[in-house]
Every structure is written in C-alpha cells, then in structure tokens.
A and B are shown apart, each in its own frame.
Chain A
Amino acid sequence: DAGVIQSPRHEVTEMGQEVTLRCKPISGHDYLFWYRQTMMRGLELLIYFNNNVPIDDSGMPEDRFSAKMPNASFSTLKIQPSEPRDSAVYFCASRSTGGLARETQYFGPGTRLLVL
C-alpha cells in the first residue's frame, strides 16, 4: 500500500491567494482527518470525515478554510484568501473502522505551506 498521499509537498504563495491541498487516503479507510502543525500550537485537528461526510469541523480556524471529500479516495483543504499566519505543515491522516488496528490513524507526509 502506498500509504496516505498528499500533494503538493511544498507550497509557497502570496497573501491573498487561494491554496488547495490534496489528500488521498489509504484504500479502504473510511475516516479522513486534516491536521495543522505549527511550532506555537503543536498539532491541531481541523476537521474529519467519516464515509465522505464531515463529522466535526470545530477545529477549522475561520471561514477562509473549507474542506471537501467528494469521494472515498480524495479530499481537499482549501484556504481562500490565504494569510501569512496560515503558514504551517498540514497533515492528512486516515483510518479504518475494522481490522486489528482499527482505531489507528496513519499520517501522510504533509504539505509545507508558506504564505508570504
């Protein structure tokens, strides 16, 4: 299995631009999580989906952030307009409901976002 795939791995953009981060979960996993990691705030859960439906978006910082999961193999996190304080590493993670390690989340490599 290729694991959780995220793209792009690095993104540099200017303030005010739209940024779209992409995630492909592990095949067969029915949960998908978006996290943000910064030095100041550590690892924060932004939103998660179950069977493509958003379950909890209470961690989404502002209306500038939105996330979608149109199908079981793809999710996007969009920031519009972006601001310098959005600079962080954004991780996607997925997990399954069944199996031996059914509660375990597997993380992607992350997208490093820098907003100038």
Chain B
Amino acid sequence: GEDVEQSLFLSVREGDSSVINCTYTDSSSTYLYWYKQEPGAGLQLLTYIFSNMDMKQDQRLTVLLNKKDKHLSLRIADTQTGDSAIYFCAEKGNTDKLIFGTGTRLQVFP
C-alpha cells in the first residue's frame, strides 16, 4: 500500500529555521498537506500544495515539493517556542483518503 515517512524528532533553537522532511510512495499524489498537532488538540491544517507545484510560501512557512524524488519539506523560518508541536505530512492520491506520516515532533528550545 501507499506509505508516507517522516523522521520522528527535530530539535531547534528559537530563532533558527526548522526543516521537516517527508517522503511518500504514491506516484498518483494530487495534493500534499502539512498538519500541526499541539498537545491535547486536534490536527490543524497548516498548508497544502498541489502536486503540479514546486514551492508554496505562506508567511513563515515554505513548502518544497520534489515530485521526481517524492520528497516534501516544510521550512519554518524564525522558529518560535509556540511552534513546538507534532507536524504531520499527508498525501492524497486518486482516492478520497489521506495517507498520513507518523508525525515529526518539533521541540524548540530557547
């Protein structure tokens, strides 16, 4: 079946940039998403990108998509302590389902 993989942990200093990476296997992906989950909360949509795009920027967030390598990344500029959370990558192919990665726990320290 289709798979989405992410590293489990990332630790960065406040003010630095964070880069969270994701790889997927579905060659028919149409949309790719980044969700944020804070402790005790639901998944909050951060941003999404169409599969025919290479990059999308939204304030401090930059999404890069390498469709050839099936690699997606999320860059958070000027990372703040409030950015500490679990970040999920998800992809949607030709079905209605989203395939989620395991999530990357981002820890921001002062």
- Interface presence of A108 (CB below 8 A): yes
CB nearest neighbor in B for A42: B102
* Size of interface on A: residues with Cβ below 8 Å to B: 20
B33 touches A104 (CB 8 A): yes
Chain B nearest CB from A88 CB (Å) reads 14
Task: Tell me how many residue pairs across A and B have CB atoms closer than 8 Å.
Answer: 42
A110 touches B42 (CB 8 A): yes
- Interface presence of B100 (CB below 8 A): yes
B102 touches A56 (CB 8 A): no
A104 touches B45 (CB 8 A): yes
Given A42-B100, A50-B96, A104-B48 contact (CB < 8 Å): yes
Chain A nearest CB from B48 CB (Å) reads 6
A106 touches B31 (CB 8 A): no
- Interface presence of A105 (CB below 8 A): yes
- Interface presence of B92 (CB below 8 A): yes
Given A43-B88, A45-B97, A91-B48 contact (CB < 8 Å): no
- Residues of A with C-beta under 8 A to B85: none
CB nearest neighbor in B for A50: B96
CA A104 – CA B98 in complex, angstroms? 9
A103 touches B92 (CB 8 A): yes
- Residues of A with C-beta under 8 A to B31: 103-104
- Residues of A with C-beta under 8 A to B96: 31, 48, 50, 55-56
What 9 A-B pairs are tightest by C-beta distance, nearest first?
A: A107-B43, A107-B42, A109-B42, A43-B100, A103-B31, A110-B42, A42-B102, A108-B42, A103-B92
